[in-house]
């Protein structure tokens, strides 16, 4: 049996955007054989999900879905174990590539990956990830998900909505490799 596809979401502190990505992706994937995780470029291990962001999670998630979440710091091991790394902003992508340039074929911003796969019809799962690594859309500020931290409920709602819209395109395309 093939190994499950492993997707890692990355933001700064791993308390707002990347845990939102992880939880929504898990919800969209259901019981599919795909592993989603998250971490932060400057996270402190063990912090809970941000109190402004957690209530903005989609109603399809179980109440309190983010309650047990705890942040973790990005490590070389997490990157190595992942088949695809999706970041909230291009600054996170660049942070990773500055230290691990050899990973350039598997590190994208979430929006960049969504734009890239739009030009790769008919592909899914691992085949999609490999093709995207060969032919990526350039990064753009339009692909970034703005950090809602300490910016109030409206910013949190906007970030969650943007993440949900992007993952609603990305996750079904990844699920083809079951």
Q: What is the pTM of this model?
A: 0.95
Mean pLDDT within 8-16: 97
pLDDT value of position 1: 63
Q: What is the pLDDT of residues 82-131, one digit of tens each?
A: 999 999 999 999 999 999 999 999 999 999 999 999 999 999 999 999 99
pLDDT value of position 68: 85
Q: Which residues contact 113 (CB under 8 A, 6 or more apart)?
A: 84, 86, 132, 170
| Ranges assigned E (strand) in the chain | 5-11, 34-40, 84-87, 107-109
Cβ atoms 139, 173 nearer than 8 A: no
- Reported confidence tier of residue 178, pLDDT bands at 50, 70, 90: very low
Top-confidence residue, 157 or 58: 157
pLDDT value of position 67: 81
What is 112-161 written as a DSSP string?
A: HHHHHHHTSTT--HHHHHHHHHHSPPPP-GGG-----TTSHHHHHHHHHH
Domains within the chain, CATH numbers bracketed: 5-174 (3.40.50.2300)
């Amino acid at each position: 049996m093939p190994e499950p596809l492993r997707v890692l979401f990355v933001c700064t502190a791993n308390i707002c955007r990347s845990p939102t990505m992880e939880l929504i992706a898990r919800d969209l994937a259901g019981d599919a054989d795909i592993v989603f995780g998250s971490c932060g470029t400057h996270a402190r291990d063990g912090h809970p999900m941000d109190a402004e962001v957690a209530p903005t999670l989609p109603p399809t998630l179980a109440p309190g879905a983010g309650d047990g979440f705890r942040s973790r710091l990005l490590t070389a091991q997490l990157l190595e174990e992942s088949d695809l790394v999706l970041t909230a902003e291009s600054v996170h992508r660049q942070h990773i590539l500055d230290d691990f340039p050899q990973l350039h074929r598997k590190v994208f911003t979430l929006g960049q990956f969504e734009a890239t796969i739009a030009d790769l019809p008919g592909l899914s799962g691992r085949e999609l990830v490999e093709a995207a690594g060969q032919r990526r859309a350039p990064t753009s500020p339009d692909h970034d998900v703005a950090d809602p931290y300490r910016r109030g409920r409206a910013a949190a709602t906007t970030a969650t909505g943007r993440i949900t819209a992007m993952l609603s395109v990305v996750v079904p395309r990844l699920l083809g490799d079951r």
